[in-house]
Amino acid sequence: MKKILLLLTAAALLSSCEIPGFGEKSSTTSAEISKSKNNKIVFKNNKIVLSSNYELVSVEEFKNRLNALPKDSKFRGIALDQLQEIEAKETEFEVFADKNNVANHVFVYATNFIVFDDYLAAKYVAKLNNELKDESNKQEVRYKRIHGRYFFTNEAKVVKLKYVKAHKKERRFQTEYTVASKTGGMALLVSNVNGVDFEENLKRFLN
Mention every residue, 6+ apart, whose C-beta is less than 8 A from residue 178: 8, 9, 10, 111, 114, 116, 124, 158, 159, 185, 186, 187
Residue 13 confidence (pLDDT): 45
Output the DSSP codes for 132-172.
HHHHHHHHT-EEEEEEEEEEE-SS-EEEEEEEEEEETTEEE
pLDDT for position 148: 96
| Bridge partners, residue 180, by sequence | 157, 185
Give the pLDDT of residue 34. Answer: 59
Tell how far CA 148 is from the center of its chain. Answer: 14
Give the pLDDT score at 45.
65
By CB atoms closer than 10 A (0-12, 13-18, 19+), residue 163 is buried
For the chain, which residues score pLDDT lower than 70?
1-35, 44-45, 183, 207
Chain mean position to CA 203: 16
- CB count in 10 Å sphere of residue 24: 13
Domain spanning 28-205, CATH architecture = 3-Layer(aba) Sandwich (3.40)
Amino acid at residue number 26: S
Burial of 21 (0-12, 13-18, 19+ CB in 10 A): middle
User: What pLDDT was estimated at residue 16?
Assistant: 45
Residue 30: predicted pLDDT = 42
Domain boundaries, the chain: 28-205
How do residues 127-166 score in pLDDT, each as one tens digit?
999 999 999 999 999 999 999 999 988 888 999 999 999 9
Residue 173's pLDDT is 98
Decide if 145 contacts 41 (C-beta within 8 A).
no
* Dist CA 8 CA 110 (whole Å): 11
pTM, entire model: 0.84
